[in-house]
Structure 1
């Protein structure tokens, strides 16, 4: 995901925050995200590292609950992939993305820099994730009417945010698809994949068939599975393509990129 936001500073801390030794959050498709959930930290100060440590050590969660944390100076900390199903609104977790603004707004007020950053972040995310149409406070989710979070008026926040929506938003250019070859244990396959937005995409059925993998189409959820594992696939002209690293993991293969020959090399055992 492109997280370059005009007039905003974003710090990517996804790989540096405390994580549980064994537990891992589930994953979803970006199109599963329906809303942004606004939280306050309920602390006068704090850092993503401190929040992650509390969520892991005290709560026993796989990692930090929030996808983004906004400090008082307006710096946005990117804590989880949007596809991560983290714990922050209970039964609504699968469809909600969590944004935490640092502060205890029962006794404090969000800074102007925080509100500006939150508005810019949400606007940017709604371009990247068109299904994320709602912006709700924590207490507006089912089962949380009792909870005073984020403890600032959501009606006013949404009203102020609507002013941002009136401004034209430049949608990012669609990344160009660059064809790439695919080899399996040193032999070129007759099909090709492509590189788009820094991700190598491989044709699911062709690669699975070449390696003896089992492909399933789940009509109810419009999902493709390989050997029982869900993929973040794209359907292009009726064919499914999935990230090379996900395909390799599902097929128990190793994947590497050969820049000289523009080839995704798959290596490992093939089941006949």
Structure 2
């Protein structure tokens, strides 16, 4: 099955056709609905590549191909290594129901990079949307028969907690609030854009206001954050546009803000 592997904020490289494979052996196949969990691994090597892992698994272990479905490099690049339907060898008797994700590194002595963890979170989120049956995220050592194995050698309780926060942040960024429109003026001149009131807080369009005030706006793709003049904001992303609290935005832009309640106008001054 050809699945969409375009993951916002992540680089995915499909290497399924180029990795070393056994000349005669092939992995068994399953239905996507057979997949119940994502199995997290570390490579137990300080560096490495899908090609190197595949070569070892085929030539040394005699397996049909690389053990993992995905390999995540330290820079966050995700390599797609096996069809999701492939029953590859990575968690023994649980192989039929598990999808293998390997982060490159020996996490007995190293730590996963922030880029790796972010990429892993994005990958799992994407897969869980396309494979609803994949509800669990487990470490290798959490599968039956592997309690002895120190893999992935980073705390899975924290990984799952961080993943839950990642999911909540993604939901918060696309959630549409109840909007009461507000007008915006800059030094007495009305801007052509508007903001809205949310729970008593005036939310203003970040880029339009920053441009009017001469500020610098950056979109941080990996964390889905907006920065103005190098500072993070508590923004909401709605239909592709970022909105931030008026007073917070004014503070980073170095301008004054005043609220005209009767006319529902946010008045900005100081440019």
The match for 1:147 is 149
The match for 2:14 is 12
Query: What RMSD in Å do the two structures reach over aligned CA positions?
Result: 1.0
> By how many angstroms is 1:163 displaced?
1.0
Matches within 5 A, 1:93-242: 93-166=95-168, 167-168=170-171
> By how many angstroms is 1:82 displaced?
0.7
The match for 2:230 is none
The residue matched to 2:38 in structure 1 has which SS? strand
> By how many angstroms is 1:165 displaced?
2.0
> By how many angstroms is 1:104 displaced?
0.1
Which 4+ residue blocks in structure 1 deviate beyond 4 angstroms?
Answer: none
CA deviations 1:59-118 (Å, max 9, x no partner) are 000000000000000000000011000000000000000000000000000000000000
**Contact 1:123-1:164 within 8 A present in 2 as well:** no
Structure 2 unmatched runs, 5+ = 175-271
Structure 1 unmatched runs, 5+ = 171-272
Larger radius of gyration: 2
* Cα distance in 1 for residues equivalent to 2:95 and 2:160: 21
The residue matched to 1:100 in structure 2 has which SS? strand
The match for 2:38 is 36
**Contact 1:43-1:104 within 8 A present in 2 as well:** yes
TM-score, normalised on structure 2? 0.62
The residue matched to 1:31 in structure 2 has which SS? helix
Residue 59 of structure 1 pairs with residue 61 of structure 2: yes
Report the count of equivalent residues. 170
* Cα distance in 2 for residues equivalent to 1:152 and 1:164: 18
* Cα distance in 2 for residues equivalent to 1:37 and 1:118: 11
* Cα distance in 2 for residues equivalent to 1:124 and 1:32: 17
The residue matched to 2:7 in structure 1 has which SS? coil
* Cα distance in 2 for residues equivalent to 1:116 and 1:8: 9
> By how many angstroms is 1:164 displaced?
2.0
CA deviations 1:93-150 (Å, max 9, x no partner) are 0000000000000000000000000000000000010000000000000000000000
**Contact 1:10-1:75 within 8 A present in 2 as well:** yes
The residue matched to 1:105 in structure 2 has which SS? coil
Work out which of the residue numbers 2, 7, 25 in structure 1 matches 2:27. Answer: 25
